[in-house]
Amino acid sequence: MPNTMPNTMLNTMLVSGCVLFSAALARGDVFTWECDSFPVEGGWGFLQDYCEPVTWVEEGFYVQQLDMSACPGENEGAQDVYRNSIEEFVSVDGTDSFFIEFCLSTTGDQSEIIGGAPAVLATVNSFGLDYTATVSRDKVKLFRDTDLPILFIDVVPDEPHTVRLELLNGPINLFRWYIDGELVSNGIAEGVFPSDNAFIVWVGQSWQLPTVNRWDYIRYGDIAEDGSGDFDSADGVGLRDWRYFEECAGNSGIGVDAGPGCRWADMDGDGDVDLVDFAGFQGVFGG
């Protein structure tokens, strides 16, 4: 098949440390919502809102303005909550791997964490498996396993942060948590995940203090094979993979690790995504 890959790298736009794109919902073996639409339009199931949260879409971000002004005297502030089933990603033979990655910035204080705020993404099932990340402006809380202590990670305040969970299923089930591309925790998982009745729920919430959350993206699905060029594990490399290859190249460079979410685009396995990898990607594009 002739190579129809564009001859030049398209321009990427870096916004406050996160790459900003406008892309419609797409689905191979990866679900992506790039926050350029309201959640329900982007494929999420609405769960609830509370105390009239103010939300809008702005330049590729989904923004939640959350406070207690609409519910004076209540013990909790505003909430904006969404959910999706992930049973379609359940491994038939218990050997597939799964990831969740999201990026956002928030003005919420770390004191809000105790009240389940300001921004939370959890993936759970009805059998007690639970992986939850709670993000504030300068601290991330990770719930990893009922047998492990809760982990608190300091992060640079007032910047967008990327949280990634990888679940590696096989003879030994493993988990890996990354924050901003750095491995912060890994270990043996309680069991295969996703499994029956598994779902993802995410929430923006204020507890005592007002907050503004700016979600950049939420993505989840099968982990692509390293160096394959196949972001969505769709057994073919096309324009959708190119869109995410661009992002990985925009976050990489000399001496810069592209991060765990870009191993599939690192065609030569040296840690970054550069012109050498672009040449390798061109070689498989359309195949």
pLDDT tens-digit profile of 29-46?
999 999 999 999 999 999
Name which of 75-79, 83-87, 140-144 the model is least confident about: 75-79
Strands (E), the chain: 13-15, 18-20, 26-27, 30-33, 45-50, 54-58, 61-66, 79-85, 97-106, 119-124, 130-135, 139-143, 151-154, 161-168, 174-179, 182-188, 199-205, 211-222
Query: Which residues lie across from 287 on neighbouring strands?
Result: none
Architecture category of domain 34-223 in CATH: Sandwich (2.60)
Q: In the predicted model, what is the mean pLDDT of the chain?
A: 87
Q: Please report the pLDDT score of residue 258 as a whole number.
A: 85
116 and 205 in contact (C-beta within 8 Å)? yes
Quick check: 130 and 146 in contact, CB under 8 A? yes
DSSP 8-state symbol, 214? E
Q: What is the mean pLDDT of residues 87-93?
A: 87
Delimit the domains of the chain by residue range: 1-28+233-287, 34-223
Write down the pLDDT at residue 36. Answer: 96
Tell me: the pLDDT tens digits for 99-138? 999 999 999 999 999 999 999 999 998 878 899 999 999 9
φ, ψ of residue 202 to 5 degrees: the values are -135, 150
**Each residue of 199-256: pLDDT tens digit?**
999 999 999 899 999 999 999 999 999 999 999 988 889 999 999 999 998 877 666 7
Does residue 26 register a pLDDT over 80?
no
Report how far apart the first and last C-alpha atoms of the chain are (Å, whole number): 7
Q: Which pTM does this prediction carry?
A: 0.88
Is residue 184 classed exposed, middle or buried when 0-12, 13-18 and 19+ CB atoms within 10 A define those classes? Answer: middle
Please determine, for residue 1, whether its predicted confidence score (pLDDT) is greater than 90: no
3-state secondary structure of 155: coil
Three-state secondary-structure class, residue 111: helix
CA distance 206 to 221: 29
Tens digits of residue pLDDT in 267-277: 999 888 999 99
Nearest to 243 by CA among 213, 219, 214: 219
